[in-house]
Every structure is written in C-alpha cells, then in structure tokens.
Amino acid sequence: GENVEQHPSTLSVQEGDSAVIKCTYSDSASNYFPWYKQELGKRPQLIIDIRSNVGEKKDQRIAVTLNKTAKHFSLHITETQPEDSAVYFCAVKAAGNKLTFGGGTRVLVKP
C-alpha cells in the first residue's frame, strides 16, 4: 500500500517567519495531495489540496508545491501567525478511493 512520510514531526517558528513541511510518498500513481489542519481538541479540516497535473497552488498565506518526479510535496506557510499553531497532516490518494495520511507535524508559532 501507499506509504507517506512527513517531516518534521515538530516545528517551532517565530511569528512572521515561514514554515515548511514536507511529505514523501511511495506510489507513483498517486494523483491527489491534500493538507489538513487540526487545532488542539478539534477535528481535522482541509486547508489546501493539489492534483498531480499541477505543480503549485496558493491560497493567501499558504501554498503547496508538488514534485512528481521526486515523489514529494510540501506545505508552505508564510508570515506565520499564532493562529497557525496546530498539527498539520499531509495525505495522498492513490489506488482506491481513500486517503493515506502522514504522521503529522506539530507547528508552534511563538509570538
């Protein structure tokens, strides 16, 4: 089955700095790559996604980049704010209509 690795597991940044989280996957047939944000005690929520025919997608301060050749994709958060503190999960959709999630990255934005 699909194997998704996410790094780093924790990330501490100063408010206003950028944060980058990277995920690698194993199945070259994977075609959909979402990112979910989970605030403490809350449910995961989709924040951005990208398909395999697109290299980059932006939505205000967040962006996702995809390198299909290297089989990795990354989440970029610019001008971080305290409300960006959360756990972020990448996911991959390969064969079958289901997502495989990475292990998560705990992001702490220090004011």
Long-range contacts at 76-81 (CB < 8 A, ≥ 24 apart): 76/18, 76/19, 76/20, 77/18, 77/19, 77/20, 77/107, 78/18, 79/16, 79/18, 80/13, 80/14, 80/15, 80/16, 80/17, 80/18, 80/19, 80/107, 80/109, 81/15, 81/109
* Closer by beta carbon to other proteins, 96 or else 111: 96
Is residue 46 part of the contact set for other proteins (CB under 8 A)? Answer: yes
Of the candidate spans 12-20, 28-36, 56-64, 73-81, the one that interacts with other proteins by CB under 8 A turns out to be 28-36
Cα atoms in the Cβ-side hemisphere of radius 13 Å centred on 11: 26
Is residue 101 part of the contact set for other proteins (CB under 8 A)? Answer: yes
Is residue 102 part of the contact set for other proteins (CB under 8 A)? Answer: yes
Minimum distance from residue 95 beta carbon to other proteins (Å) = 11
Is residue 6 part of the contact set for other proteins (CB under 8 A)? Answer: yes
Is residue 10 part of the contact set for other proteins (CB under 8 A)? Answer: no
> Where does this chain bind other proteins (CB under 8 A)?
1, 6, 9, 32, 34, 36, 42-46, 49, 89, 91, 93, 96-104
